[in-house]
Structure 1
């Protein structure tokens, strides 16, 4: 603990417990990225119990801490004069609001330095049920420069975060554009208003390959190491090569299961709402292997099916919901789609020339997205650097970055 650090327990104190009772107040939920949000905005509907009398009242400016805390699930309430949150959340007051900036403190409490502290101190044996005792939470050392410096640092971080948000929004809009192009050219696949041929996947696939899931290390593969993909590499329907675990050096890799550019991957097993995700691999680092929960769909040479089109078809919302209906399993948390059912799946197949035109248009969109991803990666790196400097004291006398950042 440095001379500029102050224990969190000297900055915040438990708020007086107030239950909602019969009060009708907005219901807030916690998100990792955006902090507290209206529950209806997060879930598109109310998910709270009909009886919210036990919910906790949180006033504007109070700190709400959720779980898992090691993922930074906490935020100051800035939306309403008063609202209610789950009784499982803890609520805290600032002891001296005139000496501590809420924006600065929230940034710190969600910073890598703070998250590392939480992770190291968590207690319990079940991963997402582990908790941080209150006394240990309050023992967290907080770097606390002058109030003016706190506000300036928060403004610097907010500025870069705003630029990151704009890049993410642009990528999201380009995703929507690709979906619009598909709908404009081919229509809703289940309605098939243009009367495209419908073929079972067995007619144009040479097979469906399964991966393997050996015991891996709890970290990413580095350098020339082999790695095994996690479900998260496909779950968002975009290929994320960084979602992998390193293969132990003593385990021989099965090179036949290595992922290559041009592969079409499909998650055969997951929770009911996440199963049947697919991702088209445009590029990838070498030495990454498929796990046994992910299929590779092998389109036959000469088949009248373009993989970019097939990926768009399989990820179209109505089509994916239909595919998810193929999943079976006794567990409510994990269901499975068999190879046999997937091979029998009927797909709408327009003329190959149209599919290729669609693929060209999507390639152009992907090129634009890659530019934004590159800029976003640079901003992410800048933000991480600024966070480190801000909370180690080296940013306290620097100038704020300009718009060029």
Structure 2
């Protein structure tokens, strides 16, 4: 630690408090222009730094039941992806999914420096070690206030922040390139097959079941830290149609269960139960080794003449997602679409050559995405190293 840097608790630097919500919140939502901004997690993009506007407002009568925040305050998510920092660039009110950090002395806090510090591995690891909850971690104001950080003079904060901002800009460019590739898949589908409602290319119409050899629900057996087969759960299927093998559990299957509850390359996995916005997300399994799949997923195996990428591409298209939202049966916050209902969804049936060209285009995009992800992982590693040096006074 340099001589001028002080070891401080976050509670010494900020007033830390949790948000609150007037209830029932539906009675306080308003369209009136004099309403107060109602700040929700969705108002902050995953790659964003500032919260600049909100989609909703609440009536001023609800102010006593919530917490008001101002430009220059920091917000932290306090559950799920907890500890993610944002800088307020507007004013408004926060619910109890947020914590606010208000600088005690604004001149002692450079916002860009603390944005990087609060989002650093060093601080996150302290949050994770102290946060309660075995499955879903939760922060509270006491935990955040107790975290110890090194506080440099403001001039040093400003210099370090400028260096980290430049490095972070490169990371954001990489992330943005990946986001653009993800949106490209939607454009490719629409360009190659047209709007399913108007069917400008005059493809044959049918239902998804016409294209499938069979469907199968996943296993309901409990998975754990050990087992013969890694098991895919609904979190392993992304909303943009990819399989990710992060946070895997494992399971044992009997000889009779192996064929029934495993997926092979080219199978579609359909998420039958989730929130209304996520139910029906689908992806084609592309790994050579066998994986089991869990009960909230349906395995759909296409006929030999049909591209599974086309079927999954339709389910993940804007038209497909709108269809899924309209047909989902919602029960206690969760929506469900069973295998029979999925098979009944209307779909265009393009010729085999068109499906093949779509698969080829999708594979090319996937290859580009893998290259960009590799570059991003390298950039993230370099950035993490730079942060470590910065917050230990070595820059």
> TM > 0.5 between the two?
yes
Alignment partner, residue 272 of structure 1: 276
Alignment partner, residue 85 of structure 1: 93
137-146 or 92-101, which moves further after superposition? Answer: 92-101
SS at match of 1:143: strand
Unpaired runs of 5+ residues, structure 2, are 20-32
Q: Distance in 1 between matches of 2:209 and 2:14?
A: 62
Alignment partner, residue 363 of structure 1: 363
Unpaired runs of 5+ residues, structure 1, are 41-45, 399-405
Alignment partner, residue 394 of structure 2: 397
**Structure 1, residues 82-130: CA drift from partner, whole Å, max 9, x if none?**
x2122545544323444432222222222233233233333579946x4
Asked if 1:109 corresponds to 2:109, the answer is: no
Q: Distance in 1 between matches of 2:112 and 2:106?
A: 11
Q: CA deviation at 1:232?
A: 1.8
SS at match of 1:261: coil
Asked if 1:138 corresponds to 2:141, the answer is: no
Match of 1:228 among 211, 228, 231: 231
Q: Distance in 1 between matches of 2:147 and 2:288?
A: 39
Q: Distance in 2 between matches of 1:360 and 1:126?
A: 39
Q: Distance in 2 between matches of 1:345 and 1:161?
A: 44
**Structure 1, residues 234-293: CA drift from partner, whole Å, max 9, x if none?**
141332323343226x77695433444323211111112210111123x43745321111
252-261 or 271-280, which moves further after superposition? Answer: 252-261
- What does residue range 252-291 of structure 1 map to in structure 2 within 5 Å? 255-256=258-259, 257-281=261-285, 283-284=286-287, 286=289, 288-291=291-294
Alignment partner, residue 74 of structure 2: 63
Q: Distance in 2 between matches of 1:9 and 1:114?
A: 14
Return the structure number with greater strand share: 2
- What does residue range 240-259 of structure 1 map to in structure 2 within 5 Å? 240-247=243-250, 255-256=258-259, 257-259=261-263
Q: CA deviation at 1:66?
A: 4.5
- What does residue range 208-357 of structure 1 map to in structure 2 within 5 Å? 208-217=215-224, 226-247=229-250, 255-256=258-259, 257-281=261-285, 283-284=286-287, 286=289, 288-301=291-304, 303=305, 305-329=306-330, 331-357=331-357
Q: CA deviation at 1:188?
A: 1.1
Alignment partner, residue 14 of structure 2: 12
Describe the shift of the 1:65–1:204 C-alpha distance in structure 2 as closer, same or farther (beyond 3 A): closer
SS at match of 1:335: strand
Q: Distance in 1 between matches of 2:264 and 2:326?
A: 29
61-70 or 172-181, which moves further after superposition? Answer: 61-70
Q: Distance in 1 between matches of 2:80 and 2:242?
A: 28
Q: Distance in 2 between matches of 1:226 and 1:144?
A: 48
RMSD of equivalent CA atoms? 3.3
Describe the shift of the 1:191–1:70 C-alpha distance in structure 2 as closer, same or farther (beyond 3 A): closer
- What does residue range 190-209 of structure 1 map to in structure 2 within 5 Å? 190-209=197-216
SS at match of 2:213: strand
Q: Distance in 1 between matches of 2:249 and 2:133?
A: 26
CA contact (8 A) 1:63 1:75 kept: yes
SS at match of 1:347: strand
Q: CA deviation at 1:140?
A: 0.9
Describe the shift of the 1:69–1:262 C-alpha distance in structure 2 as closer, same or farther (beyond 3 A): closer
Q: Distance in 2 between matches of 1:246 and 1:71?
A: 22
Q: Normalising to structure 1: TM-score of the pair? A: 0.79
